[in-house]
């Protein structure tokens, strides 16, 4: 109930500021342990087991660590794609292999140097980052709308899963018509 009191009535920006601070200041051992638990939960889901093409994201700024998830998914034979953001704030899904060279993108995230796009209709599962989520799958991102615009283009056949730490799960996220919900949130 503490999160109800703490976040009730706050604007998206105030929630964003508060949780981003907590992400950036959490202890690394907490982040590593919780990220491992989230990976275990994700890999046990039927949708992950069936998925051939998985869209991940390369974590940064205290997010759930996806680097090990990506490496382990590659070992399982999954094709991994990650978002690349263009100047017009449009995300593209680009292939990521074990030997893919990375560079900092427009917003500081790592992305492939050589961009090999994948047709969105081929993606089975999309792992979605977020600053905060609620039980209905509403998501609060970093405020640029890149993922909301991208998720509107993803076919309904692709399952979307938000990844979060337990302190990122709120009773309710303020949402607008532009916001896109995820099918499920996995957290620890």
Predicted confidence (pLDDT) per residue in 133-160, tens digit: 998 999 999 877 789 999 999 999 999 9
pLDDT tops 80 at residue 87: no
Long-range contacts formed by 114-122: CB under 8 A, 24+ apart: 115/84, 117/92, 117/93, 118/53, 118/79, 118/81, 118/93, 118/94, 120/93, 120/153, 120/154, 120/155, 120/158, 121/155, 121/157, 122/53
Looking at the 3D structure of the chain, how many domains does it have?
1
Residue 157 DSSP one-character state: T
CATH of the domain at 18: 3.40.50.10420
Q: How far apart are CA 182 and CA 160, in angstroms?
A: 5
Q: How far apart are CA 73 and CA 68, in angstroms?
A: 8
Q: Give residue 5's pLDDT.
A: 40
pLDDT tops 50 at residue 2: no
Model-wide pTM > 0.75:
yes
Report CA-CA distances (Å) from 35 to 59, 136, 139: 11, 22, 19
Per-residue pLDDT tens digits for 121-135: 999 999 999 999 998
Strand partners, 93: 83
Mean pLDDT, to the nearest integer, of 75-84?
96
Mean pLDDT, to the nearest integer, of 35-63?
97
- State the residue range of the domain holding 120: 2-187
């Amino acid at each position: 109930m503490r999160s109800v009191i703490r976040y009730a009535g706050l604007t998206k920006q105030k929630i964003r500021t508060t949780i981003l601070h907590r992400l950036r200041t959490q202890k690394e051992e907490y982040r590593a342990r919780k990220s491992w638990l989230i990976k275990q939960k994700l890999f046990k889901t039927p949708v992950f087991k069936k998925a051939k093409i998985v869209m991940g994201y390369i974590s940064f700024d205290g997010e759930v660590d996806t680097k090990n998830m990506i490496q382990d998914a590659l070992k399982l034979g999954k094709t991994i794609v990650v978002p690349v953001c263009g100047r017009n704030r449009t995300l593209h899904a680009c292939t990521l292999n074990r030997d893919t060279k990375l560079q900092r993108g427009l917003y500081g995230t790592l992305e492939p140097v050589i961009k090999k796009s994948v047709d969105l209709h081929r993606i089975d599962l999309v792992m979605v980052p977020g600053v905060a989520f609620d039980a209905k799958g509403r998501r609060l991102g970093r405020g640029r709308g890149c993922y909301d615009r991208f998720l509107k283009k993803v076919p309904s056949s692709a399952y979307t899963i938000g990844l979060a730490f337990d302190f990122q799960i709120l009773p309710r996220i303020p949402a607008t018509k532009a916001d896109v919900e995820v099918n499920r949130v996995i957290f620890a």
